Structure 1
Amino acid sequence: MTAPTVEAASTGVTPRPPLVPEGPPLDTERLARYARHLTLPGVGVSGQRRLAAARILVIGAGGLGSPALLYLAAAGVGTLGVIDDDVVDESNLQRQVIHARADVGRPKVESARDAVLAANPDVAVELHPVRLTAANALEIVRQYDLVVDGSDNFATRYLVSDATTLAGIPHVWGALDRFRGQVAVFWSAPPPGHPPVTYRDVFPEAPPPGTVPSCAEGGVLGALCATIGSVMVTEAVKLVTGAGRSLLGRLALYDAADVTWRELRVLPDPTRPPVTRVEEPAPEVCEVPAPGAAPTTGGEVSATELRDLLDSPTPPFLLDVREEFERDIVAIPGAVLVPSGRFQGPGAADAVAALPQDRPVAVYCKAGGRSQRVVDALRAAGRHDVLQVTGGVLAWVRDVDPSLPRY
């Protein structure tokens, strides 16, 4: 019996031209390497030549940047830029698969470069071992055909959005939260017939501090990075080659706990102010402050000053607001653990009342973000003898006891 012919319903989507012109013809070796692409409708030899000519910038060599860089390299993208100012630490290895145990302590961009070249030595890797800022974002972004944004904080996401908006290039974005992930494509100057949407059309402003769990508090399923990162690469390849239907104008949401996908339509916000320049966004709670950065409110004390206070006849009450597993890795001697979440919500008043009233309270976390929230909450509750330990336990390890482990 002959199977019936099924015709797909028209999507009404305007055809999208390839983003990148074809590069030089492929030699015999590359024809063999990319054979499965060459027989793929929508890619073929022409698409593979476009990938070879493409320049793609990946923001972050972390959870999303790891699979993105590896799959973009394997796909034959000619030039990959990677921007990250961080170094590899032990806690990254659970999800940042581009790095290995031997890379701990190395700059992430260098570790990522070595892994990319091991996967495909034909790829040119351009390193940007800096933090993305308003001063450098547009200059860096303009060097590339599109941006794959795997950053993990709102400040960087707004910088990427504004820089790609001004540069007029596509912006493939992904985000993770515990078991959930999101992917979208933004483009301020798309081909005719496609919506000019940006990250700010979906997220006009960053959420208020305290409403989004910090990185350590929320956690993330390691394998989820591969799921979302590979979708981001798929969108980048489709944009370069012109294959398929882009996520431009759509937001895809994935729940790994239930293995479900949902889709939301994204439209330009007519009330959104136009982007005329790249501005430095305000930092948020999940962003790690630079060593020695001052908190926004309240008193502050450095790690070395805290050491002297703890050795004094009247030491402060030392409050560790991290999670229990973090305390088990490293802690400042004498600290009492009360996770920062206890100072929010219905039980916050009890947590505040349980603190001693007869001496100052010195608050620390990993690097300063969570402790600042707790300091603000305590001062709002009427405690004015509260000290913020700038730089957190990482500053203590760096400046007081380098023999202790970092994470």
Structure 2
Amino acid sequence: MKTVTVVGASLSGLYAARELRAQGFDGRLVIVGEETHRPYDRPPLSKDFLTGKAGEDQLALSDVDETLELGAEWMFGVRARGLDSRGRTVLLEDGRTVSTDGVVIATGASARRLPGPALMGVHTLRTLDDARSLRAALIEGPKRVVVIGGGFIGAETASSCAGMGHDVTVVEAAPLPLLPQLGPEMAAVCAGLHHRGGVELVTGVGVAALHGELAVNSVELADGRILPADVVVVGIGAIPNTGWLAGSTLALGDGVLCDDGCVTALPQVVAVGDVARVGGARAEHWTSATAQPRVAVRNLLAGRTVETVRPLPYFWSDQYSSRIQYAGRRRDGDQVRVVEGSVDEGSFLALYERDGVTTAAIAINRPRPFTKLRRELARAEAQPVVAEVAAQPLVVEVAAQPVVAEAAQPVAL
């Protein structure tokens, strides 16, 4: 290959560029980025950056020296609008074309939005520009903030807003936040974090409409309740950015369909990160975005799938001064038991188990033992992890501050 084009200048795109050079590709490297910013880290957007504890300079994923060492042609502020049927030409919205021998698709995903007219005061939180806009609204003074969606972005944003002194309500359509990811026992624990953080949690009901003339002033719930709002943050999931690939020969379906090696139907085209559906699954986690590029690039340069990737799912979330860490492949019906610490203390390590085999682990404020378990799970996912401390039954108490659960609905992510 003489030219490789990376479409997407985010975390996975940067890692793919690094891997191309590390694995010996010394040809022309083109990196196309829709945003005007150089690659930056997204997790802090809902936390330290939103609260003003971190500046934009602390979000950068690479410095000037590394950028020069990559020897890439950077095209910022331009969106790809098409890929020819053979995957040999990337078409850009400004009319330019990039002839290429190989393509890495790393276009990520965009925040899902609510239907209806656009109102001032309604925000999503996916990009640096999103975070800038929301931060500017929050520093104007105390606000009534309604966060729609109790997933990780919604929970972290609610935590940050509460820490800044705002009056915060989280609306979650499912009976409990994070229910699909963590199961009912641990989802109830996360619900308790909201309560202890002084945030009102409304569950089991969806949003019917946002009201206001030019700016939002309230949120109407499906059961008729009205929540006053100065600021609304919509955190209801993301949609993979595949629209620009319509008409190409690539298979699309909730992402770019790839085999277990991130290779698409065209061997000269691979996909990584939030946009990639690898081996039937799409994972929107930092670890997937950093683990997939090494294998994808190796297969791209080989011209076929010579290696596969199946990293152990892992994610973390910082909420209300608590760090939640999860690793593994929990399934419905798995049993949960605390093996260290306690739920009441707000610091514990728990295992998910099925037929005596540990399938996953979750910890709140127990990073060291969790890290050990994560390594063991990664080494042998199908083998039980033997805990070195006595197990105790899991007891979750949330009755003191009940979770509102009216007309429970399935969660939509």
TM-score range with shorter-chain normalisation?
under 0.3
Q: Higher strand proportion, which one? A: 2
Q: Higher helix proportion, which one? A: 1
TM-score for the superposition, normalised by structure 1: 0.25
| Larger Cα-atom Rg | 1
